[in-house]
Amino acid sequence: MIRPLAGPVVLDAEGLSRAVKKDPYLTGVIALASNSIVPVVVCAATIAEISNAKVNLAALNWTTSRLSVEPITKKLAIAAAQLLAHAGISGHRHALDALVCATALAQPGRATIYTSDPIDIEKLVAGMADVIPLR
């Protein structure tokens, strides 16, 4: 069941990957967001994270053309580093999660992050965003 949306929707790598593959649940979330005039956001790093030889680039381009793709700036990178420090975690996998979280927290309003890694994402956002697990 898709929850009502109040603030921006942020997709992690799994969320974006499923959206590209036209997963019915994620397609529904994006449609609901569009109808509610709620932005669906991804961090630019998330596009690179899901890209590989098996990804349909045409579908990726089409999907991301419907989303707000946020660039990685110095300000965003510093915010991600601060989230990592506060959560007491590090490493490249966590760095990508932290960029997703910093992107979410930079949005106006309370963001909702759709993720396959709710435990780490919840640590990083520390209650400042809603986290919806993707299973």
The CATH number covering residue 32 comes to 3.40.50.1010
Does the pTM surpass 0.95? The reply is no
> Is residue 76 included in any domain, yes or no?
yes
For the chain, the domain total comes to 1
Residue-number span of the structural domain to which 28 is assigned = 9-133
Q: How does pLDDT run across 18-42, given as a tens digit for each residue? A: 999 999 999 999 999 988 889 999 9
User: Considering the domain boundaries, does residue 3 fall inside one?
Assistant: no
Whether the predicted pLDDT of 8 surpasses 90: yes
Q: What is the pLDDT of residue 93?
A: 78
Which DSSP letter does residue 72 get?
Answer: -
Question: In terms of Cα–Cα distance, which of 110, 75, 117, 112 is closest to 96?
Answer: 117
pLDDT tier at 2 (50, 70, 90 boundaries)?
Answer: low
Task: Assess if residue 2 is contained within a domain.
Answer: no
Exposure string for 16-49, b = 16+ CB within 10 A, e = fewer? bbbbbeebeebeebbebbeeeebbbbbbbbbbeb
Q: Is residue 15 a part of any domain in this protein?
A: yes
Q: Is the pLDDT reported for residue 5 higher than 80?
A: no
Residue at 4 is within a domain = no
64-115 per-position pLDDT tens digit: 999 999 999 999 999 999 999 999 998 887 999 999 999 999 999 999 999 9
Contacts 24+ apart (CB under 8 A), 97-100: 97/12, 97/121, 97/124, 98/124, 99/43, 99/45, 99/46, 99/72, 100/10, 100/12, 100/13, 100/43, 100/45, 100/46
Give the pLDDT confidence score for residue 91 in this predicted structure. Answer: 83
Query: Is position 36 within any domain?
Result: yes
For residue 1, tell me if it sits in a domain: no
pLDDT at residue number 6: 78
Distance of alpha carbon 13 from alpha carbon 17, whole angstroms? 6
